[in-house]
Amino acid sequence: MLTLTENVLILIGVMTLSMLFMLAMNHIWPMQERYAREDLIGWQLNILGSVYAVILGFMLFNVWSTFSTTELNVGLEANALRNVYRLAAALPEDQRMRLQAEARAYAAAVIDDDWPQMERGNVPEKSHWIDQSMWATLMAVTSTSPAENRAADHALSELSTLSQLRRQRLVQSLSRLPGIFWCVLLVGGILTIISVDLFGSRYLWLHGFQVLSLTLLITLAMLAISDLKQPFRGWVHVNNYAFVRAQENMTD
């Protein structure tokens, strides 16, 4: 994904191209002639701009909602892991030591392996095997008291939640914005900026400000969509702080 520097360079490049196109259009088609024909261009720009604004706003809201949901799911996964660790304290000694060690290993695997793998667009496997090991440990518990039986039941429930949230995290890390949506965003943005370039004005500085500000807004929105659509990659991403805190709390 794009770094902050790459985002800034793209923003500057697109704004520069937009201004150069406006200057070239002024040379090819004098501004005075375009201004006299604003009644032929204005209505089209209004409709195009309104439609594109709705599409852009919806896409930005959608990716931000997905990003927020992913961040919430990561926190819930870490919380489920802490609950498994706490509930293990009420299990028989052998299973308690084994399950708590596996919970600590899971947190370490997520921090050291899952996040780097997801950042590269890969599917991490180490935490999956530790998750399977925790299932095997809990299924082997033989309760000798009501307290141990309740702890084992609650631990199984929390582990089920943990496994489900892990699968959701992996699916979210591999999610992509369909190509047709990128086509709509790119084509709509280009047409909108070109329409503003065609729209004449008596004052060059005013027309330049209109073109520059609209190009800035559209490019920033599209860069935000690009950064948020893959929540574990790029300079705007979901971090592993929830698991770092869980790891700190899971001490003997």
| Tens of pLDDT, residue by residue, the chain (252 residues) | 677 888 889 989 999 998 888 888 777 777 666 554 555 556 666 777 788 999 999 999 999 999 999 999 999 999 999 999 999 999 988 899 999 999 999 999 999 999 999 998 899 999 999 999 999 999 988 877 888 889 889 999 999 999 999 999 999 998 888 889 999 999 999 988 888 877 766 677 777 888 898 999 999 999 999 889 889 988 889 999 999 999 999 875
Tokens 């002639």 sit at which residue?
A: 33
Backbone CA torsion sign across 240, 242, 248, 252: negative
The Cα–Cα gap between 156 and 136 comes to 11
Tally of CA atoms within 13 A in the half-sphere of 184 that contains its CB: 14
Task: Check if the beta carbon of residue 195 is closer than 8 Å to that of residue 34.
Answer: no
Structural domain tally of the chain?
A: 1
The Cα–Cα gap between 21 and 32 comes to 17
Give this prediction's pTM.
Answer: 0.84
Question: Which domain, by its residues, includes 126?
Answer: 4-249
Q: How far is the first Cα of the chain from the last one, in angstroms, to the nearest whole number? A: 39
